[in-house]
Chain A
Amino acid sequence: MPSKGIEAAGLVREFKGGVLAVAGIDLHVAEGEIYGFLGPNGAGKSTTVHMLTTLLPPTAGRATVAGFDVVHEGPKVRKAIGAALQEAALDPILTGREHLRLQTALHALPREERKPRSDELLERVGLTGAADRKVRTYSGGMKRRLDLALALVHRPRMLFLDEPTTGLDVQSRSALWQEVARLAKEDGVTVFLTTQYLEEADVLCDRVGIIDQGKIVAEGSPAELKASIGRPTVDVVPADHEQRDRVSAVLAQFGELTQASPHGVAVLLSGDEFGLADVVRALDAEGLHVEHLQLHAPSLDDVFLAQTGRTLEGAEQEQQTELVP
């Protein structure tokens, strides 16, 4: 029996001219999970979302969403999902309320439910006051919130969010994170989210798939992924730069010395037995004064680096360079 979440096997999408946007991905997203798809621009995130939401037929492979085949059971898939795509495709001429009116009609909500549901969603996304204004007067954050409300009108079991916070200010971003987390926790909605922000994937997602050049290069919970590539580093800059050798001797007890900041000494902590506090105590015991001390825990960017040989930012720049002739 197919899963009620998302299942994909060998999903491929090739565009005209042989451009391979998605090069065979396998996915398993459980019901009620928040799954993050992390990768630079052009990695194949949106193409994958378009295939999973029935907007684009795959060239090869198969996928089921909410238990329905995306190629052969499109209408059932669409009934089960809500989606807010990358470009908040809104009609500038319509008001927020009119958008909801249209969306409730498209989803064939019973007439008596349409207005209360619209009002409820407008309130939930904080747009009640702006509901009767034309969308062309909305800010980017307001458009995103309206887009989210539109995706929720028919109470979908699954929500696809394609880069929902790109271009948003910090406040709008955190408000949207809260709402997504609430939807998953309280309403049991499965969320498939694409992002290029490490922090977003880290904070919001139960599991993360890292995608690069159309392939998933790593997958797991943020903690698992970070743990998989290594241990934390402690970087110490002594107050007296002449004492670097003494600091090196102390740090060497905790693991392998590694590349450090200028005037500093760094150690890659070995195993789980040592922590930052042990290092501080040892330095103190030797009477060494410290100008700067930093614990660097592995990030998802380090995971990306380990898997692809590039940082996310570097991959982003590569992408842009490719676009400029």
Chain B
Amino acid sequence: MTSDGFRSYRSVVLGVAWRTVHNALTTPNLVIPTLAFPFFFFLAFAGGLSQLSHLPGFHFPEGYTSFQFVFVMLQSAAFGGVFTGFGIARDFEYGFARRLMLAAPHRSALVVGYAVAAVIRWLVVAVLLTVAGFAVGMGVGGGGVELIGLYGLALIVNSAALLWSAGIAMRFRTIQAGPAMQMPVFLALFFAPVYVPLSLLSGWIHAVARGNPVTYFLEAGRSFVSGEAAYAGVAFGAAFALVAFFGLWALRGLHKAEAAGG
């Protein structure tokens, strides 16, 4: 790509990201789910289910609040991607995507722009969640490097979820496709050891959770918080693989949207 081409690409990415973040953070209907849901789940799970930490075999020295903090962090990252996907679908349904497609010399820059927006949007939530976590006395055994590991992992999950949702949004081009974006992510998140460690799950949920990459994101994230890094390689490997796979999925979705006329 020439330097002019790069400048133009970057400009489209930043333009799309600016507009998406601007809308997400200034429209009450969009801000509320973005900010409120993660806090709410954090409070509901850490508050309502804390007795679970007394179960035999439940060993997480940093406490149940920290245990749930990791899930909520990863969940907010995944749903941040999905909610941005809703915006893409809305743009196609109401024709705004045509304006973007007409103006952008390289249309893959639009997908990258949405992805950057999803990251920025999630970072706002991540900062607030972290502050809230420490405010309610969350314990952290790991150091700075481990915490960066947790946020890095969540960031990759955010991008994977965005690319998945973008692929759906550009194939269906209607906000009615929202459940198709949300439901698989919801299931992937909850068919994992959300409330108790993997070792305490039994039956079919244990079998499903073992094959679910989210399980390894959670296990790795929790190990980062407790300062005993485990499953890090598997988790990052799986996360990058998902980004690569859903990246192709999103680009094919973009081609389908182009073929259909936006």
Interface residues of A (CB under 8 A from B): 50, 53-57, 75-76, 78-79, 81, 83, 85, 87, 89-91, 93-94, 98, 101-103, 105-108, 150
Contacts and interface: CB of A to CB of B under 8 A. Distances in A.
Contact of B12 (A50, A57, A89, A108): A108
Contact of A75 (B97, B105, B261): B105
28 contacts: A54-B102, A55-B101, A56-B259, A56-B260, A56-B262, A57-B258, A76-B105, A78-B102, A78-B103, A81-B102, A85-B99, A85-B102, A87-B95, A89-B94, A89-B97, A91-B23, A93-B27, A94-B19, A94-B22, A102-B18, A103-B103, A105-B12, A105-B14, A106-B15, A106-B16, A106-B103, A106-B104, A107-B103
B23 A105 contact: no
Contacts of A57: 258-259
Interface in B158-178: none
A89 B101 CA distance: 12
B261 A50 contact: yes
6 tightest CB-CB pairs across the interface, nearest first? Answer: A105-B15, A89-B95, A56-B261, A75-B105, A108-B11, A106-B103
A106 B11 contact: yes
Nearest to A107: B103
Given A89-B96, A105-B11, A108-B11, A55 B102 contact: yes
SS class, residues of chain B in contact with chain A: helix
Nearest to A46: B261
Contact of A105 (B18, B27, B97, B260): B18
A91 B102 contact: no
Contacts, number: 75
A122 to B, nearest CB: 17
Contact of A85 (B15, B94, B95, B259): B95
Nearest to A79: B105
Contact of B96 (A56, A91, A105): A91
A85 B96 CA distance: 11
A265 B103 CA distance: 58
Find the residue from B19, B98, B103 having the highest chain A CB count within 10 A. Answer: B103
B252 interface: no
A120 B19 CA distance: 22
A89 B259 contact: no
Contact of A93 (B26, B101, B103): B26
Given A57-B259, A93-B27, A102 B19 contact: yes
A150 B99 CA distance: 9
Interface in B67-101: 94-101
Contacts of B7: 108
Contacts of B12: 105-106, 108
B29 to A, nearest CB: 10
Contacts of A98: 19, 22
Contacts of A107: 11, 103
B2 to A, nearest CB: 12
B8 interface: yes
A130 to B, nearest CB: 19
Nearest to B26: A93
Given A94-B22, A106-B104, A55 B15 contact: no
Find the residue from A50, A107, A108 having the highest chain B CB count within 10 A. Answer: A108
A53 B262 CA distance: 12
B36 to A, nearest CB: 19
Nearest to A57: B259
A91 to B, nearest CB: 6
A83 B16 CA distance: 19
Interface in B104-155: 104-106
Contacts of B103: 78, 103, 106-107
A284 B262 CA distance: 64
Contacts of B16: 106
Contacts of B8: 108
Interface string B249-260: 000000000111
A93 B11 CA distance: 21
A52 B96 CA distance: 18
A103 B11 CA distance: 10
Nearest to B98: A89
Given A55-B262, A94-B23, A106 B100 contact: yes
A207 to B, nearest CB: 24
Given A106-B11, A108-B11, A89 B99 contact: yes
Nearest to A13: B261
B92 to A, nearest CB: 10
